[in-house]
Amino acid sequence: MQAEIIVLPGDGIGPEVTAAAVQVLRAVGQRYGHSFHFTEKLIGGAAIDATGEPLPADTLAAARAADAVLLGAVGGPKWSDPGAKVRPEQGLLAIRKALGLYANLRPVKPHSAALGASPIKPHLLTGVDLLVVRELTGGIYFGRKERHGDRASDLCEYTVAEIERTIRRACTLARARRGHVTSVDKANVLETSRLWREVATRVVQQEFADVRLEHQLVDSMAMHLLAKPREYDVIVTENMFGDILTDEASMLAGSLGLLPSASLGEGRVGLYEPIHGSAPDIAGRGIANPYATILSAAMLLRHSLELESEARCIEKAVDGALGAGVFTADLAPAGRGVSTQTATAAVLEQLELECQPVAMRD
């Protein structure tokens, strides 16, 4: 297979972790006989510095023409003025909207070797395997924003069509898992949540009778996610709730540095990124955790390129590296973490064990 992959390193540790993921993708391509072509483009603060825009036109054009997009992170103190008219995060929101990437998939499956890094008791984490589907292009993040004197407002708005497609995506994914969907809202207070619950109920009843649906209020879900995470399979929710809950879910895995994500629309092109931020405090020090970005590359292979065996190969390689105790600073006891490149090298070593060479395949 030949594939064009656009790489958006972004800011902070973004260039370091995307470089690691590209190394792994090149190794997988060579081992399985694929030709992956990588082109770097600007986004976020780096793009603002170079062009004055968080999402330059040539970046968006390249992303639209590509098979997939791999992104690092955006933002940092240099561009953190809340009153600034141009901010790095605008680039991320804009590319999601422009590519129609309405569903953000964030899997959470704690690794047994890393349970000690989580503040949650290990017996609560064993067997956890959940997937959060977050609506990505609607809601309060994209609504009208106003400020007048001592007042400000942010409009949260959803259409039936936006909710339907997100629920359908979640249910389709649940069918390939354990068939259980938990829809999260705030229907006791918010009108958008009442619409969300009505639409979710109708779609499941009419189109996914084989899927078990339950509803949870977002505040109670925040508690249940930590108290009984094993009970959940696919969790689907709106944009802001999903943003908050998935950061909370990182505590189940032990670190944001272990959680990948995929942003998908109706077409082939998807955007793949770790859920962590740009971590400017450690940028350039060579100690960032590359595992989440490498796992995001596995999701890229699965969802955009339909290379399931290759995706599983990367996931097994990361499992192997963690199982061997190759922990970066966010996972290891103080002062004992390995470098970004050491962690990447451990994954590449595991690939040699987990990936069947192309010459040995049928």
Q: φ, ψ for residue 242 (rounded to 5)?
A: -65, -40
Q: Give the C-alpha separation, 339 to 162, whole Å.
A: 42
Length of the chain measured in residues = 362
* CB 315 within 8 Å of CB 296: no
Q: Which of 311, 326, 332, 267 is nearest to 66 (CA)?
A: 267
Q: Give the C-alpha separation, 243 to 220, whole Å.
A: 16
Beta pairing, strands 103-108 & 35-40: unpaired
Give the residue numbers annotated as catalytic, written as ranges. Answer: 141, 186, 219, 243, 247
Q: Give the C-alpha separation, 63 to 263, whole Å.
A: 13
- Torsion sign, CA atoms 66, 70, 76, 78: negative
The pair of structure tokens assigned to 128 is 């956890």
